[in-house]
Amino acid sequence: MRYAIYFTPEKEDPLTRAAARWLGRDAFTGQPIAPVEAGPFSAAEISFHTAAARRYGFHATLKAPFRLTENENEQTLIAALAKFCERTEPVVIPRAVVRRLDGFFALVPEEGSEGLDTLAGNIVEAFEPFRAPLTTEELERRNPEGLSPGQLKNLHKWGYPYVFEEFRFHMTLTGRVPQTEAVRMERAIDAFFGPLLSEPLEIGSLALFVEPEPGAPFQVRSSHTLGWNKARKTA
């Protein structure tokens, strides 16, 4: 079993509901959702292009999937995450936009955010004591020969290459899309998510996701509001 700390908007947030329809699965319930048509793409085509992202659910990685150390358990991890969220203030992204990253499409901040980078780094450090060391097999799955020196150092020290100076906030919407279909796909995503992308995106909660067994879909185990005042009001 592996755990991960992700950002995903709260269960009933309009962006969460739209993303669940787009990906064809609700990460909060684990239930599949009938695939949608979007722009020139049929439901079957959208289902094909979102297959890789569907398993993980709509999210942004803040603490990549990890196995727990022998000294910790799910209850202590949830309790630690709840305390962390209570003392951490939300971060607002003024605008999220659709971008193609290494062949796949994702929602990313239109501009960099120092507050968001700081939040991500704090999460990596705060929950490192819960992470069991990577096995040789887990290291190899990260294709270490293709990483930069900095990414390789992060992999061995933190269990994930893309942290701190290598961190890039993104919420994946597709697998790799061929260049010949990239323009049409970007237009389809823009049309589908429409006005939701014109609103600021608040990083106002963190979710603990769980992968029950290797290759199984990730599902939300618990969700926690950021900020002491907000946490008290919604408790």
Distance CA 124, CA 170 (A): 16
Number of domains in the chain: 1
Q: Which position has the token pair 């290797």?
A: 214
pLDDT for 11 equals 93
pLDDT for 232 equals 42
**In degrees rounded to 5, what are phi and psi of residue 85?**
-65, -35
Average pLDDT, the chain: 93
Query: Residue 40 is encoded by which pair of tokens?
Result: 């020139």
> What CATH number should be reported for the domain holding residue 144?
3.90.1140.10
- The pTM for the full model equals 0.93
Tens digits of residue pLDDT in 35-89: 899 988 999 999 999 999 999 999 999 999 999 999 999 999 999 999 999 999 9
Distance CA 16, CA 230 (A): 20
Residue 198: which pLDDT band, with cuts at 50, 70 and 90? Answer: confident
The β-bridge partners of 131 are: 68
Distance CA 155, CA 134 (A): 9
**pLDDT above 90 for 135:** yes
**pLDDT above 60 for 109:** yes
pLDDT for 103 equals 93
Domain of 38, in residue numbers? 2-234
pLDDT for 181 equals 93
Q: Percent of the chain beyond pLDDT 70?
A: 97
Query: Residue 70 is encoded by which pair of tokens?
Result: 């022998």
Task: Tell me the residue length of the chain.
Answer: 235
**pLDDT above 70 for 115:** yes
